[in-house]
Structures are given as C-alpha cells and as structure tokens.
Amino acid sequence: MKKWFMLYGMLVCIWCSGCGGTGGQGKSIRIAVIPMGTTHEFWKSIHAGAMTAAREQGVEVIWKGPLKEDDRDEQIQIVETFIAAGVSALVIAPLDDRALIRPVLDARNMGIPTVILDSELQESVYASFVATDNYHGGVLAAEHIGRLMNGTGKLIMIRVLEGITSPMKRENGFLTTIKSQFPDIEILSDNQYGGITSETSYRTTENLLNRFGDEVDAIFTPNESTTFGCLRALQDAGLAGKVIFVGFDSSDKLIEALEKRELLGLVLQNPFNMGYYGVKNAVAVLRNEPYEQVVNTGVTLATPDNMNNPEIRKLLSPDLSILSE
C-alpha cells in the first residue's frame, strides 16, 4: 500500500509540476527528460537545450532526474513512473548501460519512443542516440597531455564509475592513445574510481597523491566531478599548477583554474546540443518526420591559450537563461 501511495504521489507531482509547458499544441505532446543527475553544470546545460527545443517545437518538457548521480534504482523508478503516466516520449541519459534496457523496452512496447543521451545502452531498443564522440574526447586529452609531458614522465588517470559508457569510452580512448603514441610515459595508476561526487573524487586523488607523492607528473580526469575533486586535492596539497592536469567538462571553478593554469586543458562537450537534439528527435519520431538515428554533438579541447576564443567561450559558459524564465 505504501509503495502504491508513493507511486501515486510521483504521478501527481509529474502531472502538476512539468517544467517548460508552452501551451497551445504543446499540451498534446509531453516529453520526459531524465538525466543522470541535476546538480552538475553539464546537466543544467542539457536542460537548457531541451527547453529551447521544446519552445521551438511547441511541446512540453518535464525534467526529473535522480537525487544522486549513481542511483540506478531511482532513475529506473522515475522512468517507470513516466511510462505509467503516459508521457508521449522519453529522453534519457542512462546511469547504467544494462539496467535501463528493460524499462526502455517496456516503453517501446507501450508505444512510447525513447531517445538516449550521452551514454549508450548495450542494446538498440531506442529510436535515436545523441552524444559526444567520447572515445575521441579521450584521444584529444591524451594527445594534449602527452605533448605537455614531452612524451615522458609518470601519469595518473582517475576513472569515474563502472557501468556508464560515456566516461568508460573516454578512459579507453585516453589509455589507448597514451600507450600507442607516447610509450615512454609510465602510467602509475589507471584503476581507481573517483565516483560521481567531487567529495569522493577529492578523497581518491588525495589517496593517490599520498601514495605516489613527488612521482606524479600529470593527471587526467574524465568528467566534471572527478576534475573538480582532483583540482581541490591538488590545491590543498600545494601542487596545483605544478602537476600537469587535464580534465573534462566545465564549471565556473574549472574555468577559473584554466585561467590560472592550474588546469592546462578541458575537453568540452556540447551538452546544450545534446538536450536540444534529444527533444527535437523525440518530436520527429512522434510526428513521423525525418531524424538522425545517431547524432554526434562534437568535442573540443579548451586550453589557457584558446579559452577566450568566442566559440570556446560559448562551450565553457553556455547560456542557461531559459531555465530562469
């Protein structure tokens, strides 16, 4: 009884608090956008892109993600609740490349199409996939850090979390490139996980710095939380700007570190476009209009030297004003 009461409460919340309703024909199409989390700047940019597409297409977007970015069960429950509520389509950034297959397949069987963002599922049970070329992002980071190290020295790579394909592809692209193009670089550690919060990433980095001390010449981190956690650990250890550091994604604190050369590179995705094309493709599926089954939203390297280029600056600080309207 308690479980059904909670489900009923979620349904009422969803129907009553949809964000981004546009009125008019938008009332006939309701698209649920379910990120991995809602706190990082990356997800806020996806939200802004989704809202922009919803406004252009005259549809309604409902935004709801797990409280914690590693809570697979909560994300699955959110998806199942939206299916029960009868939304028109789902746009999901899956927390697990296997666990989300069943609910997405259930949605398809009920006539609710799904567009997948950011991190691919292991089975193609969805209508469209919109994401960064994550492997290439790892390649860009490796080529940059390898040049900065002059092809020699000792390196640490901190992983994010098992089961999420996007950072795993970045990690694989990075390691493969380092080993093939810079064979004289020694990898001190590549099997430690920072997790999905900056606090856990801080502790992981702190432990690695305590273990390897002055041996560390460079560090690579493959997402926003590991990058920020590592930055704080380097700052507290007095090593920021001394250890070559290349990370992934952007936030105000990471931009500030790039300006100070505490970070020497940030691999940038285009999360705004992920949200935008995710919703746009979902609408196209519903309206039987042409759409791309796979959309590559691009990946770029920002450095202290090019960060004020207008195109780079736009990726570093996307326009989120639509979220406050």
The angle that helices 134-148 and 165-181 make with each other, rounded to 10 degrees, is 40
Taking residues 159-175, report their average pLDDT.
93
Report all structural domains of the chain as residue ranges with CATH numbers, in order of start: 2-132+270-297 (3.40.50.2300), 134-268 (3.40.50.2300)
| Integer Cα distance of 2 and 128 in angstroms | 36
Condensed to tens digits (0 to 9), the pLDDT of residues 259-309 reads 999 999 999 999 999 999 999 999 999 999 999 999 999 999 999 999 999
Condensed to tens digits (0 to 9), the pLDDT of residues 203-230 reads 999 999 999 989 999 999 999 999 999 9
> So what's the pLDDT on residue 111?
96
> So what's the pLDDT on residue 6?
41
Q: Is it the case that residue 8 has pLDDT exceeding 50?
A: no
Cβ neighbors of 207 (< 8 A, separation 6 or more) are 192
Owner of token pair 């007095």: 238
Condensed to tens digits (0 to 9), the pLDDT of residues 117-152 reads 999 999 999 999 999 999 999 999 999 999 999 999
For residue 138, give the nearest of 195, 219, 201, 222 by alpha carbon.
Answer: 222
Condensed to tens digits (0 to 9), the pLDDT of residues 177-198 reads 999 999 999 999 999 999 989 9
Q: What is the largest CA-CA distance in the chain?
A: 64
Q: Looking at 14-23, 24-33, 168-177, 187-196, which range is the least confident one? A: 14-23
Condensed to tens digits (0 to 9), the pLDDT of residues 56-75 reads 999 999 999 998 888 999 99
By CB atoms closer than 10 A (0-12, 13-18, 19+), residue 169 is buried
Condensed to tens digits (0 to 9), the pLDDT of residues 85-111 reads 999 999 999 999 899 999 999 999 999
Residue 4, number of CB atoms within 10 A of its CB: 8
Q: 251-259 contacts: CB < 8 A, separation 24 or more?
A: 251/40, 251/41, 251/224, 252/41, 253/228, 254/224, 254/227, 254/228, 255/307, 255/316, 255/317, 257/231, 258/302, 258/303, 258/304, 258/307, 258/316, 259/304, 259/307
Cβ neighbors of 19 (< 8 A, separation 6 or more) are 51, 61, 62, 63
